[in-house]
Structure 1
Amino acid sequence: MTASGDTEGGRGAGGGAHVRGAPRCIAIVGTYGSGKTTLLESILALTGATGRKGAVDQGTSVGDAGAEARAHGMGLEVNAARARFMDEDYVFLDCPGSVETAWEAEGPLAVADAVIVVAEADPSRTALLQPLLKTLDARGLPHLVFINKIDKSDGGPGEGRVRDLLEHLQPLSERPLLLRQVPIWENGIATGYVDLALERAFVYREHAPSEVVPVPDSLAARAEEARYQMLERLSDHDDHLMEELLEDIPPPRDEVFDTLGREMRDGLVVPVFLGSALHDHGIRRLMKALRHEAPDVGGVRARLGAGEGGTVVGVVKTWHTAHGGKLSLARVLSGTVKEGDTLVTADGRQHRVGGLYDMTGLQTAKRTSAGEGETVALARMEDVATGDVLASSPALANPARLMGDPPAPVYARVIVPADRKDEVKLSAALHKLVEEDPSVRVDHAEGGALLLGGQGEMHLKVAGERLSGRFGVRVDMYAAPVPYRETIRKAATARGRHKRQTGGHGQFGDVVVDVAPLPRGSGFVFAEKISGGVVPKQYFPAVEAGVKDALLKGPLGFPVVDLSVTLTDGSYHTVDSSEQAFRTAGRIAMQEALPDCAPVLLEPIMDVELFVPNTATARVTGIVTGRRGALMGYEPREGWPGWDVIRAQMPQAEIGDLILEVRSATQGCGSFAATPAHLAELSGREAERIVSAHAA
C-alpha cells in the first residue's frame, strides 16, 4: 500500500467524473442511542448547512427537534435537513431509533435513495439491528453501515473489536458486509484508519479533515489481507475482477471504485465505514461514498414501480403546526410540483398544493416549486395522509400507497379528557394525532370508553404529551378494562311477573323460563315451548329482548354468555299486556334465575407469539409462566438467525403490560402478537378479587 497527499477519502487520481443529478434523499437509521442525530449534526456542520454543530444533550440539534423529543432526549419522529456537499444537494431524514417509534421510518425508507445504518461499536448490541436489517433486505434498499463511537475504549481489545463486531452483524444481513476501512489502534483507541479502496492511511483530527499518513508497518499485512477480502467479495459479482485476482493483476483504482458503486447500488453488498460522529471522525469519507456510490431517485422509482412521464409525489410524514396548519413531507419522484398545482390520488381524489417549504428540523423556508428528487413539505393538503402517492393523473399514482398497515398495538390505555368539557375537542385532537403517527390506534374499550393503543409505554406517554402540548387537550390514561364474562354451571327455572296499575291501562306480563348452560363458545340461544296461547306469539320477541337486557350484567357484574333460555309458560291480560310489560317480565325472570344457576367468571385467553433473541428465550418463558401463561412450545424464528418464536396461551389480563417485561428482557427488541383464543373459567381468590374490584 502507498501513501500520498490526497484529501481525506478522495476517490484518487484518475477517478471517473461524477455526473450531477437530482437531489438525493438519504435516510439515517439505527437503534436508540447509536448516535444517528449526532451524525446528522456532524454532516450539517461539515457541509456548512448549520452555523455550528448542535448537540442532543443541549437541545440544540436539528434532529430531535420536537418539544417531546427535547424533553426526553431521544428521537420520536422523522426530522428532515438539507445539505450541500461538493456541489450536490441532499436531504437527510433522521429516523427515531426506539422500537416503539420504529414505524416512523416506513415512509422515509420507501422514498430514500440509500440508507445509513448507524451501529455502535459494541457486539453485544448487534441483535437490536436485526429487525431493521431485515426490513432493508426485504425492500432491496441500498444501504451502508457506519460503525459509530469507534473512538471509545470500552468495547474490548482494539485489534479484534471490528472483526468481532462484523462476525456478529453478518448473520443478521442477507447481503455480505464489505469492510471498507481498517482502524488504526493506539492503546485500545482508534486514532485513524486505512482506506482499503484508496490504499491510504488517515489519522483523525478533532473536528477537522483527517491527515494522510503512511500506513503503519504494524498494520500493513492486516490492511493487505482486508483489502484482498474486500476485492474477493466484489469479484463474486464481477467476472473481470475475478480474473484479475486469479492472475494476481492489481485492479486499477477506478475499476475498484466503479465496482464498489455498482454493487452497492444494485444491493449486492453493504459497505461498512468507521468513525465517531461526536468528534466528526470519518464523516467526510462517508459523504464521499454517498456522493459516488449511492443511487438517485431513478432507483426509487424502479423499486416502487412508480409511474413516469408526469409528476409523482410520495408523502412520508405529516405534521400539524400551530401557525402553518398541516404540512405533508413528500419526495418528488418525477416531474415538478408548484404551488397551486392540483394532484390526484389513484382513486381520482383531487388535492391542491397550498404551498411548498424546505424543512430543517421543524423550521420551514418557503419556495415556489420543487423538481425531481426534491424532498419538501406540501402545505394545507387536508385530505392527504402519510403514505399517499399523488400524481398529475390517477394512472401515474402508482403505487397507490408507499407503505402497508402500521403494526398492531402491544400496549393500550383508556384515555379521557382531564376536563370533561374537552370531550369534543379530544376527538379532533386524536384525529390529528393519528394523522401524525398512524402507529397510534384509537378504538373503543369495554363500556364504550376510548382506547389508545401503541407500541409501548413511552409511545403512549408521548402521545399524551402531544395531545396536551400541540393540540391543547390534557388527558388522563388508565389501564384498559379486561372483557370478563360470566356463565352458568347448572339449570334453573324462574317466573317473572310484572304487574302495575296506574289508572287507565295498566301493565301486565307473566313468563316462566327454563335456563340451561351451553358448551363454551355457543353464545346465547332463545326458544319457546308455549302451548295453549298462554303467551301470545307477538310477545315472544319482547320476552327475548328482556332476557338479553338481563344478560348484559349477571350476578357477578359481567355479561352472561353460553346459555339457553326457553320460554315455557306464562299468562297475559287482554287489556293491560304489552310488549314493554313482557320485556320487563323477561328481565325479571332472568334476574331471578341466574343466581340459582351457579354463576362462574370467565376470563379471555389469548394465543400469544413472542419474538425474542434466543439469548433471552429462557427469561421470556419465565415471564410467561409467571403471568399464568401456558407454554405451547418454542422454535427458531424462520429467516431470523439467532431468534426464537415462543408460543403460549395467556390470560388477557396478564398481557396489558407484558411488553414492558419482554422489552426489558430483550434489550428492547422483543415483541409479541396476540389473538383471542377462548374463554376459560376462573375461580378462587383471583375471581373474588376481580368481582369485588368490579363491584367497587
Structure 2
Amino acid sequence: IDIPGDMTDQAKSCRETMVEDIAECDDALMDKYLETGELSLDEIKAGLRKGVISGALLPVICGSATKNIGLAPLMDVIVQYMPSPVDRGPLKGNKPGTDNVEERPPEETAPFSAMVFKTIADPYAGRLTLFRVYSGTLSTEGAIYNSSRKIQERFSSTFFLEGKSQKPADALIPGDIAAVAKLKETATGDTICNEKAPIVFEKLAPLPTIMSFAIEPKSRGDEEKIVSSVHRLTEEDPTLTFHRNDQTKEMILSGMGQIHIEVAVEKMKRKFGVEVNLNIPKVPYKETIKGKTNVQGRYKKQSGGRGQFGDCWLDIEPLPRGGGFEFADKIVGGVIPGQYRPAVEKGIVEAMEEGVLAGYPTVDMKVSLVDGSYHTVDSSEMAFKIAGSMGFKKGVLACQPTLLEPIVTIDIEIPDEYLGDVIGDLNSRRGRVQGMDTKGTNQIVKGQVPLAEILKYAPDLRSMTSGRGTFTYTHSHYEEVPPFIAEKIIAAYKAKKEED
C-alpha cells in the first residue's frame, strides 16, 4: 500500500527511529549506522530478528482478523523474526514430584517433550489437543506420557492444522505445532513426554478475569447442558472461569471483558446448541446486627388431639466482622430436654439463610439458648425448631440489623495522563485510594471499592483511558452499606416480595 502524501514525513521519521533502535541491538550495525546513516534491508531484517530474540524489540503489526487485513504480514513476521527452538536454547523443568531441575535441549536426539497449549472441543471430531514439541521426536501413533497428571494416553495419529483441514504428520520434531485427537485426560498446560525420561514444564498462569456475567438458559431444562458446555469451553480457554454462586444461586461466567464473554456464549450456541441470557450478577450482600437482646421464641398450636408446643429464650449478640455464627447451649436443668435443643439451633440456622431486612444471609452473631419450657405430650423437635426460628427473627429486628456489602481490593494500571480522571471516577464509586506505584510510564492505582460499584467497570475504564487501562481485583472483606443505599436495597426487596 502506498503511503499517503501527507504522511510521508511521519513515515520517514518512524522508519529512522526503527532503524536506530535496531542498530542499538548490535555493535557492528551501530558502527555502520554511525558511519553511513543507513542500513541495508538485509541488515535491518537481521538486526530486527536479533533484537526480538533478545527481548529488546517488540514488533507491532496492525490489522484486522475479521476483515482479513494484515494476517499475511503477521505470519511473515512470526516466521522471519520470532525465535526458533534453537534460538531459545534448553528448556528447564522439574522431575515430576520433586524440585530437581531437568533440562531439554531443542534437539531431535533428546528425549521427547512437549507442552499442551490449547484444547478444542469439537462436537463432531471430539476433543483435539494442540501442543508444541520442545525436544525429541514423536511418531504418528502409540502412547504418550502426561507427566503433569502421571498418566499414559494412547493416540492413533498426529496432524497439522491448516485452517479447517488436517494434514497428517509423519513425525514431529522440535518446533512443530501439531494436534492429536481424543486424549481424554490431557488438558491445557500439561506436559507430555517420554515416560522413561519424565519432565514437567511450568504451566502458564492464566490472566485474572476482570468481568463476570450471570448466565441463565433461554429454554427450561438446559441447566445441565450449560454446565457441560461451559466446562468444555473453559478447557479450550483457561482465561474463562465458571462457578455457581451458592448464595445468589447464579451460574457465573467470568472472562477478560464483555466481548470475550459474548464470543464464548456465541461459540456455545454454535458448537453445542445451547442459548443463554447474560445478566449483571447479583451482589452477594449479607446481613448482621449491631446490638444485643434477650428474646423469647414460643410456638403453640392446638387443633384437636395432640398439639405442638415449643418455648425457648435466646440471648443474641454480634460477633466481630468475619466471626460467622456461634451457638451456645446454656440450659441448666431440664427446662428443655436435651433431644429438643439441637432443633432450636437448626431452626436458627435455617432462619439465618434469609435475613429479615432484604432476604440476604445473616452472619457474624452468637446465639445462646438460655431458658425455655416444654410440654410432655405436645412438644416435639419440629415445634422447637419453629420456636427457635421465630425467636431468632424477632430478636434480630431488636438488634439494629444492618446490611453488609463485599469490598474488593483493586489495582488499576493506566498511563500517566489519565490518573486524575481515574482517581476521580474511583472516588465517585465510593472507592478509597490506598497508594500508587510506577511501572514505566504507567501508574498503578491501588485501592478498595465496593463490588457493587465495579460490576461494569471494564467498559467504563476502557472508555476513560482510550482502551489503555487495565485492572484486577480480589475480594477483601465485608463492610456496612451506607444507609441511603441500604434503604434502596431493602425497598427493592420488599417491592419484589409483594409482587411475587
Instruction: State the 1:428 CA deviation.
Output: 1.4
| Residue aligning to 1:431 | 231
Instruction: State the 1:159 CA deviation.
Output: 6.2
Partner SS, residue 273 of structure 2: coil
Instruction: State the 1:484 CA deviation.
Output: 0.9
Superposed counterparts of 1:264-413, under 5 Å: 264=51, 267=54, 269-270=56-57, 295-300=83-88, 302-305=90-93, 307=104, 309-346=110-147, 347-393=149-195, 395-399=197-201, 401-404=202-205, 406-413=206-213
Q: State yes or no: 1:442 paired with 2:242.
A: yes
CA distance in 1, matches of 2:240, 2:204: 16
Distance verdict in 2 for CA 1:550–1:267, change over 3 Å: same
| Residue aligning to 1:54 | none
Say whether the 8 Å CA contact 1:300–1:333 is kept in structure 2: no
TM-score, normalised to structure 2's length?
0.83
CA distance in 1, matches of 2:73, 2:443: 40
Say whether the 8 Å CA contact 1:327–1:379 is kept in structure 2: yes
Say whether the 8 Å CA contact 2:61–2:74 is kept in structure 1: no
CA distance in 1, matches of 2:73, 2:355: 71
Q: State yes or no: 1:479 paired with 2:280.
A: yes
| Residue aligning to 1:620 | 422
Distance verdict in 2 for CA 1:333–1:492, change over 3 Å: same
Matching residue's letter, 1:364: Q
Matching residue's letter, 1:350: Q
Say whether the 8 Å CA contact 1:344–1:394 is kept in structure 2: no
Matching residue's letter, 2:217: P
Matching residue's letter, 1:151: I
| Residue aligning to 1:591 | 393
Distance verdict in 2 for CA 1:454–1:156, change over 3 Å: farther
CA distance in 1, matches of 2:485, 2:479: 13
Say whether the 8 Å CA contact 2:159–2:178 is kept in structure 1: yes
CA distance in 1, matches of 2:380, 2:3: 86
Say whether the 8 Å CA contact 1:413–1:452 is kept in structure 2: yes
| Residue aligning to 1:559 | 361
Answer with 572-581 or 151-160: which moved more.
Answer: 151-160
Instruction: State the 1:504 CA deviation.
Output: 7.3
Gaps of 5+ in 2: 94-102
Partner SS, residue 338 of structure 1: coil
Distance verdict in 2 for CA 1:584–1:394, change over 3 Å: farther
- Taking only aligned residues, the RMSD between alpha carbons, in angstroms, comes to 3.8
- State the Cα deviation string for residues 350-396 of structure 1 (Å, max 9, x = none): 12224322212233233443333322221122222122221121643
| Residue aligning to 1:659 | 458
Distance verdict in 2 for CA 1:273–1:329, change over 3 Å: closer
Q: State percent identity of aligned pairs.
A: 32
Instruction: State the 1:263 CA deviation.
Output: 4.2
Q: State yes or no: 1:670 paired with 2:458.
A: no
| Residue aligning to 1:526 | 327
CA distance in 2, matches of 1:294, 1:428: 38
Matching residue's letter, 2:407: I
CA distance in 2, matches of 1:628, 1:578: 50
Answer with 485-494 or 366-375: which moved more.
Answer: 366-375
Distance verdict in 2 for CA 1:153–1:641, change over 3 Å: farther
Matching residue's letter, 1:686: I
| Residue aligning to 1:693 | 492
Distance verdict in 2 for CA 1:372–1:554, change over 3 Å: closer
Matching residue's letter, 2:189: G
Partner SS, residue 316 of structure 2: strand
Say whether the 8 Å CA contact 1:320–1:436 is kept in structure 2: yes
- State the Cα deviation string for residues 475-532 of structure 1 (Å, max 9, x = none): 1121111111122233232211233467876543210112223343333232233233
CA distance in 1, matches of 2:475, 2:77: 52
Say whether the 8 Å CA contact 1:331–1:374 is kept in structure 2: yes
Distance verdict in 2 for CA 1:533–1:264, change over 3 Å: same
Q: State yes or no: 1:151 paired with 2:20.
A: no
- State the Cα deviation string for residues 197-230 of structure 1 (Å, max 9, x = none): xxxxxxxxxxxxxxxxxxxxxxxxxxxxx5xx86
Q: State yes or no: 1:536 paired with 2:337.
A: yes
Answer with 447-456 or 255-264: which moved more.
Answer: 255-264
Say whether the 8 Å CA contact 2:355–2:361 is kept in structure 1: yes
CA distance in 1, matches of 2:296, 2:194: 71
TM-score, normalised to structure 1's length?
0.61
Distance verdict in 2 for CA 1:456–1:259, change over 3 Å: closer
Answer with 427-436 or 665-674: which moved more.
Answer: 665-674
Instruction: State the 1:587 CA deviation.
Output: 0.8
Say whether the 8 Å CA contact 1:317–1:330 is kept in structure 2: yes
CA distance in 2, matches of 1:330, 1:419: 37
Matching residue's letter, 2:374: Y
Matching residue's letter, 1:650: V
Say whether the 8 Å CA contact 2:128–2:182 is kept in structure 1: yes
CA distance in 2, matches of 1:424, 1:368: 40
Distance verdict in 2 for CA 1:155–1:541, change over 3 Å: farther
Say whether the 8 Å CA contact 1:354–1:380 is kept in structure 2: no
Instruction: State the 1:644 CA deviation.
Output: 0.7
- State the Cα deviation string for residues 228-253 of structure 1 (Å, max 9, x = none): x8656412xx7xx89x8799899x99
Instruction: State the 1:589 CA deviation.
Output: 0.8
CA distance in 2, matches of 1:547, 1:349: 48
Say whether the 8 Å CA contact 1:413–1:453 is kept in structure 2: yes
Partner SS, residue 381 of structure 1: coil
Distance verdict in 2 for CA 1:532–1:155, change over 3 Å: farther
CA distance in 2, matches of 1:156, 1:689: 59
Gaps of 5+ in 1: 1-148, 167-178, 181-225
| Residue aligning to 2:406 | 604
Matching residue's letter, 2:340: Y
- State the Cα deviation string for residues 69-113 of structure 1 (Å, max 9, x = none): xxxxxxxxxxxxxxxxxxxxxxxxxxxxxxxxxxxxxxxxxxxxx
| Among candidates 425, 443, 468, match of residue 644 of structure 1 | 443
Instruction: State the 1:464 CA deviation.
Output: 0.9
CA distance in 2, matches of 1:517, 1:466: 48
- State the Cα deviation string for residues 559-587 of structure 1 (Å, max 9, x = none): 12222222121012344434333222211
CA distance in 1, matches of 2:389, 2:270: 48
Matching residue's letter, 1:234: D
The count of residues paired between Structure 1 and Structure 2 equals 476
Instruction: State the 1:607 CA deviation.
Output: 2.0
Q: State yes or no: 1:457 paired with 2:258.
A: yes
Say whether the 8 Å CA contact 1:150–1:274 is kept in structure 2: no
CA distance in 2, matches of 1:435, 1:279: 27
Distance verdict in 2 for CA 1:510–1:371, change over 3 Å: same
| Residue aligning to 1:510 | 311
Instruction: State the 1:664 CA deviation.
Output: 1.6
